[in-house]
C-alpha cells in the first residue's frame, strides 16, 4: 500500500483541482492520500467523490498555519469533524489574516517596480478561499518578473524578504488543542525544513508528544536532508511519535515534490486512524 499524507489542490496553493489531484494520485500508483490544503476544507467532498470513482482513498486533512514565538509552523490535522465550529472559526481567522495583507503586499511589489494588477492576482487565486504567497509568485511568473515560484520566494516572498508581510496564525498549542477537540490527529509538518531546530527543539517536540497534544512528526519530506531525517526519526522513536512521510505535492507549483516521493507506512496510518476513532473524528 502506497500512502502520501500531505498533498494540496487549487483550494489552497496547489495547481490541480481536487478531482485532478485524485486522477494524478491514481496514475502515480497511490492508494491513500491526505488532502491537506492550507487553512481550508473546501476540497474534501470533491476529492472524496473522485477518490471513490478512482479507487484512491482520500483522508480529510488540513494544514493549519501556526506559530511558535513568532516562528511559522505548519500543523497537519487528520480526521477532524467537519462540523466542529471552534476549528472552523480559527481556520477562518487564519484565512482572514491572509487576505488582509494582500493590499500591503501589492503596494510593496509596486514600490519594487513589479506591479501586479488585482485581476491578475485574482486569476491565480481562483476559487481558493485561502490566498497565499504562491499565488503572488505565480502572478510574478506570468508577468515576467521571476522565472518560477522558487525565485519569487528566494528573492522576494520568503519571511526575510522585501515583500513579506506578517499575518495572524494560530498559536501552535492552541491549534493542537483545537485539533484534538475536533477528534483529529495532529502531525507537525516538515519541522526542521524551513525553520531552525531552535524554534522547534527536540525537548519541546518531545513535551508536546508526552502531553498527548501532538501525535506525529512528518520525518520524510523533501525539505529534510538525509541527516535531518535520521535525527528526526530517532527523536520520534524515542518520544513515541507516529512517523509520517509525504510529498507535500503542489502540482506544477513544486516540481521537486512529485506525488509519492515520500510515503507513510500502513502501520503508521493505522496508529493515526485508531487515535481519530478513539476521539470521535472522521477519516
| CATH architecture, domain defined by 3-94+168-279 | Alpha-Beta Barrel (3.20)
Contact yes or no for 118/106 (Cβ under 8 A): yes
Q: What is the pLDDT of residues 103-112, one digit of tens each?
A: 999 999 999 9
**How long is the chain?**
283
Q: What are phi and psi of 189, to 5 degrees?
A: -85, 140
Distance of CA 249 to the CA centre of its chain: 9
What residue ranges do the domains of the chain occupy?
3-94+168-279, 102-157
Give the per-residue pLDDT at 196.
Answer: 67
Distance of CA 90 to the CA centre of its chain: 16
Give the per-residue pLDDT at 194.
Answer: 74
Question: Whole-number mean pLDDT of the chain?
Answer: 96
Q: Which of 272, 187, 264 is closest to 32 using CA atoms?
A: 264
Residues 6+ apart with CB under 8 A from 216: 185, 186, 187, 188, 236, 241, 242, 243, 244, 268, 271, 272
Predicted confidence (pLDDT) at residue 5 exceeds the cutoff of 70: yes
Q: What is the pLDDT of residues 24-73, one digit of tens each?
A: 999 999 999 999 999 999 999 999 999 999 999 999 999 999 999 989 99
Distance separating alpha carbons of residues 78 and 43, to the nearest angstrom: 14
Give the per-residue pLDDT at 208.
Answer: 97
Distance separating alpha carbons of residues 211 and 183, to the nearest angstrom: 16
Q: Residue 256: count other Cβ atoms within 10 Å of its Cβ.
A: 10
Using alpha carbons only, what angle is made at residue 196 by residues 96 and 3, rounded to the nearest 5 degrees? Answer: 70
Cell matching residue 193: 525544513
Amino acid at each position: 500500500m502506497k500512502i502520501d499524507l500531505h498533498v494540496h489542490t487549487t483550494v489552497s496553493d496547489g495547481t490541480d483541482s481536487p478531482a485532478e489531484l485524485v486522477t494524478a494520485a491514481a496514475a502515480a500508483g497511490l492508494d491513500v492520500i491526505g488532502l491537506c490544503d492550507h487553512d481550508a476544507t473546501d476540497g474534501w467532498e470533491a476529492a472524496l467523490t473522485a477518490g471513490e470513482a478512482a479507487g484512491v482513498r482520500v483522508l480529510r486533512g488540513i494544514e493549519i498555519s501556526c506559530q511558535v514565538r513568532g516562528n511559522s509552523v505548519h500543523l497537519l490535522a487528520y480526521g477532524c469533524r467537519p462540523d466542529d465550529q471552534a476549528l472552523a472559526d480559527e481556520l477562518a481567522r487564519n484565512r482572514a489574516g491572509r487576505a488582509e495583507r494582500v493590499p500591503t503586499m501589492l503596494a510593496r511589489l509596486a514600490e519594487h517596480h513589479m506591479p501586479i494588477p488585482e485581476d491578475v492576482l485574482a486569476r491565480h487565486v481562483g476559487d481558493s478561499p485561502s490566498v497565499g504567497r504562491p499565488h503572488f509568485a505565480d502572478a510574478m511568473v506570468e508577468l515576467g518578473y521571476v522565472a518560477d515560484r522558487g525565485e519569487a520566494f528566494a528573492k522576494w516572498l520568503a519571511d526575510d524578504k522585501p515583500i513579506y508581510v506578517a499575518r495572524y496564525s494560530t498559536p501552535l498549542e492552541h491549534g493542537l488543542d483545537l485539533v484534538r477537540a475536533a477528534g483529529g490527529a495532529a502531525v507537525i509538518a516538515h519541522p526542521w525544513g524551513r525553520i531552525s531546530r531552535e524554534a522547534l527543539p527536540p525537548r519541546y517536540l518531545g513535551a508536546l508528544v508526552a502531553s498527548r497534544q501532538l501525535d506525529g512528526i512528518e520525518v520524510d519530506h523533501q525539505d529534510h536532508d538525509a541527516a535531518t531525517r535520521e535525527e528526526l526519526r530517532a527523536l520520534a522513536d524515542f518520544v513515541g511519535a507516529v512517523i509520517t512521510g509525504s510529498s507535500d505535492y503542489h502540482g506544477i507549483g513544486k516540481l521537486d515534490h512529485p506525488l509519492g516521493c515520500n510515503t507513510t507506512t500502513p502501520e503508521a496510518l493505522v496508529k493515526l486512524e485508531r487515535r481519530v476513532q478513539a476521539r470521535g473524528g472522521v477519516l
